[in-house]
Amino acid sequence: MSKSKLEYIWLDGYMPTANLRSKTKVENDFSGKLEDCPIWSFDGSSTRQAEGGNSDCLLKPVSIFPDPDRKDGYLVMAEVLNADGTPHKTNSRNLIDDEDNDFWFGFEQEYFIMDTHTQLPLGFPVGGYPGPQGMYYCSVGGKNTHGRDIVEEHADLCIAAGLNFEGINQEVACGQWEFQLFAKGGKKAGDEIWVARYLLDRLTEKYGYYIEYHPKPVKGDWNGSGMHANFSNTTLRTCGSKEIYEKICEAFRPVTKEHIEVYGEFNDERLTGLHETAAIDDFSYGVADRGASIRIPIITVNNGWKGWLEDRRPASNGDPYRIAARIIKTVKSAKI
What whole-number percentage of the chain has pLDDT above 70? 100
pLDDT (0 to 100) of residue 113: 98
pLDDT (0 to 100) of residue 155: 98
- The whole-number average pLDDT for the span 217-229 is 95
CA distances for 103 relative to 151, 221, 233, 308, angstroms: 29, 36, 5, 10
- Over residues 119-134, the pLDDT tens digits come to 999 999 998 899 999 9
pLDDT (0 to 100) of residue 53: 86
Please name the amino acid found at residue 114.
M
3-state secondary structure of 269: helix
DSSP state of 274: -
How far apart (Å, rounded) are the C-alpha atoms in residues 316 and 227?
5
How far apart (Å, rounded) are the C-alpha atoms in residues 222 and 44?
38
pLDDT category of residue 291 using cuts at 50, 70 and 90? very high
Phi–psi pair at 325, nearest 5 degrees: -60, -45
pLDDT category of residue 118 using cuts at 50, 70 and 90? very high
pLDDT category of residue 323 using cuts at 50, 70 and 90? very high
pLDDT (0 to 100) of residue 52: 83
Neighbouring CB atoms inside 10 A of 90's CB total: 22
pLDDT (0 to 100) of residue 99: 87
- The whole-number average pLDDT for the span 11-35 is 97
Q: What pTM was computed for the model?
A: 0.96
Q: Pick the closest to residue 175 from 110, 112, 108 (CA basis).
A: 112
pLDDT (0 to 100) of residue 7: 98
**Average pLDDT over all residues of the chain:** 97
pLDDT (0 to 100) of residue 275: 86
- The whole-number average pLDDT for the span 296-317 is 98
| C-beta of residue 272 within 8 angstroms of C-beta of residue 279 | yes
- Over residues 40-77, the pLDDT tens digits come to 999 999 999 999 888 999 999 999 999 999 999 999 99
pLDDT (0 to 100) of residue 98: 92
Please name the amino acid found at residue 256.
T
pLDDT (0 to 100) of residue 264: 98
pLDDT (0 to 100) of residue 28: 96
Q: Pick the closest to residue 316 from 116, 113, 174 (CA basis).
A: 113
pLDDT (0 to 100) of residue 1: 78
- The whole-number average pLDDT for the span 229-258 is 98
How far apart (Å, rounded) are the C-alpha atoms in residues 189 and 24?
23
**Domains, the chain:** 3-94 (3.10.20.70), 104-333 (3.30.590.10)
pLDDT (0 to 100) of residue 56: 96
Rg of the chain over all Cα atoms, to the nearest angstrom: 20
| DSSP class per residue in 36-90 | GSPPEEEEGGGTTSSBTTB-EEEEEEEEEEE-TTSTTEEEEEEEEE-TTSSBPTT
Q: Calculate the CA dihedral of residues 106, 97, 201, 126 and round it to 10 degrees.
A: 70
CA distances for 64 relative to 21, 67, 163, 224, 227, angstroms: 16, 9, 10, 32, 23
pLDDT (0 to 100) of residue 276: 87
